[in-house]
Amino acid sequence: MTLSRDGARATMPAPFGLPVVTFHLDLPYSSDCARLFAPLARRPWAHWLDSAWPASRAGRYDIITALPRATLVTRGQETRIEYADGRFEVSGECPLEVLRASLGPPRAPLAAPFSGGALGYFGYDLARRLHRLPAVARDVEGLPEMAVGIYDGALVIDHHEHRCRLWASDDAVGQDWVERFLSCLREEPSVADFALTGEVACGLDREAYRRAFARVQDYIRAGDCYQVNLAMRFAAPCLGHPWALYLALRARNPAPFSAWLNFPFGQVLSSSPERFLCVRDGLVETRPIKGTRPRSDDPGEDARQQAELSGSAKDRAENLMIVDLLRNDLGQVCAPGSVTVPSLFALESYATVHHLVSTVQGRLADGRSALDQLAAAFPGGSITGAPKLRAMQIIEELEAERRGVYCGAIGYLGWDGGMDTNIAIRTLTCGEDRLRFWAGGGLVADSQADAEYQECLDKARATREVLAGFRAG
């Protein structure tokens, strides 16, 4: 090993008795991961999984990576696999099976949440490859359904232990990746302007929302479904690169499952508070959010909103519907009897809203993997409804535009078989001089149209307030 005297090897037992040797390099710790990542921010396929520490109080690890050995981009029925040397191939297989082949058999776990593997996003519309859905909504964003890079290593910042460590595989490819990655970190950050050049417009006004709401109620009364997540899209014209916008968003609305993803076709900016699926050492966890109240600057009113949410029979019932759905999703892949609900209706507070959050856990059955669990549970039940397939069919009918990245998942699947992903809510996309984001909520039998419409506006409030500071002129 020639990279640094501070580097160390860790040899671990691996499947079939083959050793897995990894390299780690300790770097000076900094709590300011934004400054650390800034030299990479405009580099294609540079990604940052951001715990928004310390303001969110919930994050521990930040993960930074760039320079993939290969990229997997799915559009429609084809996934293009492009390698760093310019070679490429195209597959018509299920994108998750293409990803499985790219990762290969799992290696032994290491003392890092992610030391290399796949990192990127799985858009909501990837569900069309997993479920039989009609094709009604328009694709106005034109983004890939899946976009992930395959990385030889990652920089992992541990805010609990105040440690910054670079991980990579100990082979010629891994050494080359580390040297190039360190070189990128030493570059001067490039400065880019960003501005909105017009108003933020919502694709669903109050009256249109009421009509869609009424259709959902018709389906619920007819027994088609119990809950449907109905969303509205916001959009605005823009110019420039949105790195400064992401920094403003994370300052205004920090969240433990935030992310910045930079692609050749655009950027994804996420301030998600919701974990979708985490798999570590065979343990699966999901933390659905259902139940929302707005924050208030008045302490007394804020406490009243908290108490009202905690005591709301409607919000608890809505949350429980999704917990039951996710117990079923985990039960398809987890060992019989291993699925439990260690926490129901916990109150969590964020910059502009309070939420009810539950926790569902299970243990993977023998021979099953994180990718199997992703396929079984995708997309997350908290942003579809119950039963899931019928709710998705209704969403396709009532939402005029496809969701794209929104309500999909952002995160990683490591060489070791581990996984952590968010639900891509409070998430913006930027590309071709257009910025878009969404807000939505679950509708049940006793929902009220105006209250649900206002809840969507409450969820979008932090984003709209930040965007107001980026108006041109």
Active site residue ranges: 274, 290
Nearest to residue 114, comparing CAs of 287, 280, 277?
280
Tokens at 444, concatenated = 């049940």
Tokens at 424, concatenated = 């891509």
Residues 6+ apart with CB under 8 A from 353: 292, 293, 294, 295, 458, 459
**Which residue in this structure is represented by tokens 């009202």?**
308
* Integer Cα distance of 299 and 303 in angstroms: 6
Q: Which residues pair with 292 in a beta bridge?
A: 355
Nearest to residue 52, comparing CAs of 244, 253, 351?
253
Rg of the chain over all Cα atoms, to the nearest angstrom: 22
Residues 6+ apart with CB under 8 A from 42: 190, 192, 241, 243, 262
Burial class (CB in 10 A: 0-12, 13-18, 19+), 261: buried
Q: Which helix (H) or strand (E) holds 313?
A: helix 313-331
Is 275 in contact with 285 (CB distance < 8 Å)? yes
